[in-house]
Amino acid sequence: MRYLAKVSYDGTNFVGWQIQKTGRTVQAEIEQAFSQIAKNNIPVVAAGRTDSGVHAFGQYFHFDLQNKMTTDQIRLALQTKLDFDIKIISIWKVTDEFHARFKAQKRSYKYFIAKERTPFNRFYKSYFPGISLDFNKIQKCLSYFIGEHDFTSFSKFNPEIKSTICEIQDFNLIETDEDYVFIISANRFLHNMVRRLIGTIINVSRTDVDPEIIIELIEAKTTENKLITTAPAEGLYLFDVEYPKKYFL
């Protein structure tokens, strides 16, 4: 039987989602928990990989398991084997052809920039000293990213990725009393893509460069321009992933 799980985690003490040769990873801890429950190896496949220090409100993964436990019993059993920086939120039964990565139709991230650095937000929000965001300029930058583009300029090279075409569906900036929050949704994202988009937008906002430079940066298909930088990991959260309802049983 195939299942889909929704999980949240604090990425501070992880070197990312995916299993690495060294370092603590979310995938490894979940698979280890499954091995204790099922007494054999149960691989899990995520909607996407989050980097070291990146958090998740709503990461998703699928797995295959043959037993008589209900979805809630599986969730509770898993949770008892996991540390408190990982929480299994929900588990659903899905069809056998479902795939957490390839069947996702929309992924959403939030990126938090604190207006003030405190001892309590340093692992959960990014901070740019002396930052004062030009909302009008940023809105123009965001508009150039909307739609389907080749995002080679804003990604870390990965030989496993065959296509660098992504479609950004929504890209917004909101302001709260404590933070600036970027919210972005797309059909897919490339490695480091969200953080490089944010870093570049911040750089453009703080200079006298015209926002139309974004068009040139996209068309150049190179990361060599100094405006393109990678924003800190601490402020990034995988917020949610959406799937067609037809795969849920």
Cite the active site residues.
Answer: 51
Contacts with 88 (C-beta within 8 Å, 6 or more apart), sequence order: 5, 6, 7, 75, 78, 79, 82
H or E element that contains 190 = none
* 3-state percent helix, strand, coil for the chain, nearest multiple of 5: 25, 30, 45
Structure tokens at 58: 């709503």
**Cα–Cα dist 200/86, whole Å:** 31
User: Taking the alpha carbons of 51, 165, 217, 170 in that order, is the dihedral positive or negative?
Assistant: negative
